[in-house]
Structure 1
Amino acid sequence: MTDRDPDDTTPSSPSSPSSPSSPSSPPPYGQDPHGSPYPPPAYPPQGQGYGQGYGQGYGQPYYPQGQPLPGQAATMHPQANTALVLGIVSLAGGMICGLPLLAGPFAWFTGRKAKREIEAAPQHYTGASEAGAGMVLGIVSTVLLALGLLAGVLVVGLLVVGVSTA
């Protein structure tokens, strides 16, 4: 007879490696291999369905889409400064030589578009004041452009009428 050590876990008779009594086989599916008394965390997070956004899998905190992550600041809208620069160039340059007034409608359009996008997603973008200022400068320079064109048409009309009467 052989003496068996009580701590020896090797079976005395051959058994299949997939038997549940074998210490080398994994536990059945869904059970914790370490014997934790706590249930595993739910997947996906409670209250959310599948497809809630990239990276929202097991163990990840849930952040609603359309909002910046914690610690992430909103950025300046890329067209807000463009509208402001176009408005300044059109108004200041228009006072010097008149030709830059043609940039006024572009400043108005760009400022309006940027301001709408900022108001639609204030958590993503800043720069509403720059876009608004560019839009106002664009409106002013567009009005000056229209008045200048109207004055030019009147001058040409008066010259044509004056030449034809002479």
Structure 2
Amino acid sequence: MSYPPQSPPPGYQGYPGYGPPPDHSNATLIMILGILSLVLCQILGPFAWVMGRRALNEIDASGGTIGGRGSVQAGYVCGIIATVITVLSILVIVVVIVATVVIGVSADTGS
């Protein structure tokens, strides 16, 4: 008696131990966002940070069936650095504006 062919269950990755696992679907995107956030547009930093954290959690929960941890971690760290630089830049701008206003007000009052 022959049985009809069956398709593998959803999420089936094949036999373990035969080559590296496939990279996370967003690994390259996260790395590109992280690099661009450092080089061109720091507003992309929080996106790389959040997406990177989520992807790292998914990679850790996969039990080794999802790879690309190095690319995701690189984008994640670049996103953190770019976000910190952005926040510090905004703080410096606010301090300069407040100092300018305070100096301008004290110059007008003659103090």
CA–CA distance in structure 1, aligned partners of residues 47 and 56 of structure 2: 14
Contact 1:82 1:110 in 2 (8 A): no
**Contact 1:67/1:124 (<8 A) preserved:** no
TM-score when normalising by structure 2? 0.79
8 Å CA contact 1:80–1:115 kept in 2: the answer is no
Q: Does the CA-based 8 Å contact 1:75-1:126 persist in structure 2?
A: yes
Structure (1 or 2) with the larger CA radius of gyration: 1
Partner residue in 2 for 1:124: 65
What amino acid is the match of 2:69? A
Whether 2:33 is the aligned partner of 1:86: answer: yes
Does the CA-based 8 Å contact 1:75-1:124 persist in structure 2?
yes
**Structure with the higher fraction of residues in helix conformation:** 2
Q: What TM-score results when the alignment is normalised by the length of structure 1?
A: 0.54
**How many angstroms does 1:122 deviate by?**
3.9
**Quick one: percent identity of the two aligned structures?**
35
User: Gaps spanning 5+ residues in structure 2: where?
Assistant: none
Structure 1 residue 65, shift from structure 2 partner = 7.8
State the match for 1:103 in structure 2. 44
Select 1:143's aligned residue among 39, 62, 84: 84
Looking at structure 2, the residues matched to 130 and 73 of structure 1 have their Cα atoms a distance apart, in angstroms, of 14
1:124 alignment partner, SS class: coil
User: 1:163 aligned to 2:104?
Assistant: yes
Q: Does structure 2 retain, via aligned residues, the 8 Å contact 1:115–1:128?
A: yes
Q: Which amino acid aligns with 1:110?
A: M
1:73-117 CA deviation, whole Å, 9 max, x = no partner? 621111111111011001011xxxxxx111111110111111111
Query: Which amino acid is 2:56 matched to?
Result: K
CA–CA separation in structure 1 for the residues paired with 2:69 and 2:20: 15
Cα offset for 1:64? 8.9
Match of 1:68 in 2: 13
Q: CA RMSD in A?
A: 2.3
The yes-or-no answer on 1:112 pairing with 2:49 is no
What amino acid does structure 2 have at the position aligned with 1:154?
V
Paired residues, number: 101
Unaligned runs of 5+ in 1: 1-39, 41-54, 57-62, 94-99
